Amino acid sequence: MKKSLRCLVLLLACWMLPRAGAGLANHALDIYWNDVEGGGATLIVTPAGESILIDAGNPGSRDSGRIYKTATEVAGLTKIDYLVTTHFHGDHYGGAADLAALIPIGHVINNGVPDSDPDQPPRDNDTAWQTRIKPYRDFKADSRSIIHPGDLIPLKQTDGGQKLTLRCVAAKQKFAPPPPGAGPNPLNGQGVQHPYDTSDNKNSIALVLDYGPFRFFDGGDLTWNVEGELVCPTNRVGKVDVYQVDHHGLDLSNNPLIVHSLEPTISVMNNGPRKGTAKSTIDALKSSPGILAMYQMHKNVRADIEDNTTDDLIANVPEQCSGNYILLTVWPSGKFYTVTIPAAGYTRTYTTRLIK
């Protein structure tokens, strides 16, 4: 083994020591995908020790308990500084009130809470919706606000560290301006339209996290046509290192236009054992230029599914699972990131694209 390779292996071994409070301790950036059984709950811990939870899974004790365990026992947090709710479906907002009973929540960010069920035509006195949304409206938080495309979540920076930004690129079917110098997308005009989506998925908040040369995209449950508009005629995101697969891998989303425009090195799918992992999504990922690995929260066990990623890249292989998480750690330089599945003893390190 060459000396340079031995040094890299030794350095990696040091990095993979237990990471409680690691973001603050060694100026790394951590991203945890919590298993909320096909919902959304992505926890980011910044080098300055701030935390951002994007969605909070389903209502009840299971999902909130899993998020709380990751946040406190693994990440060493005592508070969730920001909670972003990408849209108002129960598998994304439902666990927020239960989580707030376990750990303090600072600032809540969303599209604005709808007055009636966002999947139905607007109507007055929607008592069923008011009952469902009341725990979310009422849980204790320091403050709340509505986010708009182009807004930055004001994260703390570290002295001498890589620049860190978390930017909203889409919300309620509106989009942030393209990055400076972005030209026409060469894939423009190559896509197909799907029927109009009448659900709140289309209104999802989409976020781009940059840490030096590293870039991560979380589009919530954006659906097919809106995904296409986000990247065509101009790619408003740019190329990314990590693509959180939209909408749990369902075929209502993951338009090849967005997957191939972002050209991720890896993808992470927050699917369930019987939810997501559509063949069209797997095909779009596999055919994306430069893709090296596709991670899944669950192995999909539906009888109609022929395609999963390999078992070593899946956090929870048995259908009745332990709720294992996936962790991605971006090194302080921003030039490398390591994916681990602690329960499986899996680890792999990647080099960031560097070119944005």
At 187-219, the pLDDT tens digits run: 999 999 999 999 999 999 999 999 999 999 999
- Residue 355 has what pLDDT? 52
CA 151 centroid distance within chain: 18
- Residue 50 has what pLDDT? 98
Q: Is there a contact between 298 and 271 (Cβ–Cβ < 8 Å)? A: yes
- Residue 287 has what pLDDT? 97
Domain boundaries, the chain: 19-351
At 176-192, the pLDDT tens digits run: 999 888 889 999 999 99
Alpha helices in the chain (DSSP H): 3-15, 22-26, 61-69, 90-93, 96-100, 127-138, 224-231, 256-262, 279-286
pTM: 0.93
Task: For 283, list phi and psi in degrees, rounded to 5.
Answer: -65, -40
Q: Could you report how far apart the first and last alpha carbons of the chain are, in Å?
A: 33
Going 179 to 42 to 338 to 153, the CA torsion angle's sign is positive
Q: Is there a contact between 71 and 99 (Cβ–Cβ < 8 Å)? A: no
Give me the mean pLDDT over the 269-277 stretch: 95
Superfamily of 19-351 according to CATH: Ribonuclease Z/Hydroxyacylglutathione hydrolase-like (3.60.15.10)
pLDDT surpasses 80 at 265 = yes
CA 298 centroid distance within chain: 15
- Residue 1 has what pLDDT? 40
